[in-house]
Amino acid sequence: MKTIVVISGKGGTGKTVVTGSLAALAKNKVMVDCDVDAADLHLLLHPRIIERHEFRSGHTAAIDGDLCKKCGRCLAVCRFDAIKPDFSVESFSCEGCGLCSLVCPHGAIHMQENVAGEWFVSDTSYGPFVHAKLGIAEENSGKLVAKIRQVAKELGEKNRADYVIVDGPPGIGCPVIASLSGVDCALIVTEPTLSGIHDAQRVIDVAGHFHIPVKLVVNKHDLNHGMTSRIEAFCREQNIPVIGKIAFDKTVVASMVEGKTIVEHVSGAIKEELCKIWEGLKI
C-alpha cells in the first residue's frame, strides 16, 4: 500500500480540485482529509458518516464553586487573564498550564481534558473516507492529522487497499509535517504567481528535508505563461517532474460550486489532463 499526499504551499491553489479527481480516478484506496483546520473534501465526496469519535487534546482549568473560598490566588498567578473576577474560567483564554490548580489552597481547581474536535470514518461512492473537524480556536491540529492518518492506514491495511490518498493542509506548519511524514510521494499543486512559486519552494524544501519524492502540478497555468515557465525551469533544476498543467476553465469552478468532482462532470482537455496526472502519480 502506497501513501500519496497532495499539498500546496498555500491555500487556494486548487489542491482539492486535484484531490477530488484522484478520489474518482484511483481504485481501491482510502481517502483522508488532513486539512483539519478548514476541511472541504467532504463537499465533493458527500460522505455518509459511519463512525464518529471525539478528539481530546490539551486541558482547561475548572473551578468548583462549592470548594472555592474566593481567596484570589489563582486570579493573581494566571498570566493569561483566564480567571474572571467571579472566579470562573474563560476557557478560550486558558492555556492549560495548571499553575492555578497548584496554588489553590483549597483544592478547588482541577484540570479537565478538552474535547478539541471530532474525527469520522465515512462511506462514500469513492470508497472509505477518514476526515475530521477541529473545534473553533483549538490547537494541536498536527496531533489530529497524525490520528486520522493512523486510522486511514489501519483501514487501508484491513481493506488491502492499494493507496491511501491524503488531502494535506496548506502551508508548511505542524499539520503539514504530520501529513508528510512517512508518505511515498508528495504531489504539490501550485499556481503561476510569485507567491505560488515562493510557497511551492518552501514546501518542496520541507518534503526534501524528509527525503520524500515530490511531483508537481501547475493549476491555471495559462493565466501566466511566464511564471509557469519559471516554475518548470525551477523543477528541472531540482529534478522534480511536472506531471500536469491544468488550464483555467470556468466549468471547473462551476463543478466545485455544485459539489462535483471535475473528472466526472467536466469533459475535454481538463479531464484528460487530470487523468494524465493520475497516470504520472501512480507508484
Which residues of the shown chain bind ligand SF4 in the complex (CB under 6 A)? 61, 63, 68-74, 77-78, 80, 82-83, 87, 89, 94-100, 104, 106, 108-109
| Alpha carbon distance 15, 269 (integer Å) | 18
Q: Nearest approach, Cβ of 87 to ligand SF4 (angstroms)?
A: 5
Q: What is the distance of C-alpha 189 from the center of its chain?
A: 14
Of 112 and 125, CB closest to ligand SF4: 112
Q: Nearest approach, Cβ of 55 to ligand SF4 (angstroms)?
A: 20
Q: Nearest approach, Cβ of 66 to ligand SF4 (angstroms)?
A: 11
Cell of 116: 478539541
Of 96 and 213, CB closest to ligand SF4: 96
Within 8 A by CB and 6+ apart from 200, the residues are: 8, 9, 188, 190, 216, 231
Q: Of 200, 173, 170, 176, nearest to 188 (Cα)?
A: 200
DSSP string of 32-45? Answer: EE--TTS--THHHH
Give phi and psi for 264, each to the nearest 5.
-90, -20
Of 114 and 228, CB closest to ligand SF4: 114
| Alpha carbon distance 103, 77 (integer Å) | 8
Of 100 and 166, CB closest to ligand SF4: 100
Q: Nearest approach, Cβ of 136 to ligand SF4 (angstroms)?
A: 18
Q: Nearest approach, Cβ of 76 to ligand SF4 (angstroms)?
A: 9
Of 90 and 118, CB closest to ligand SF4: 90
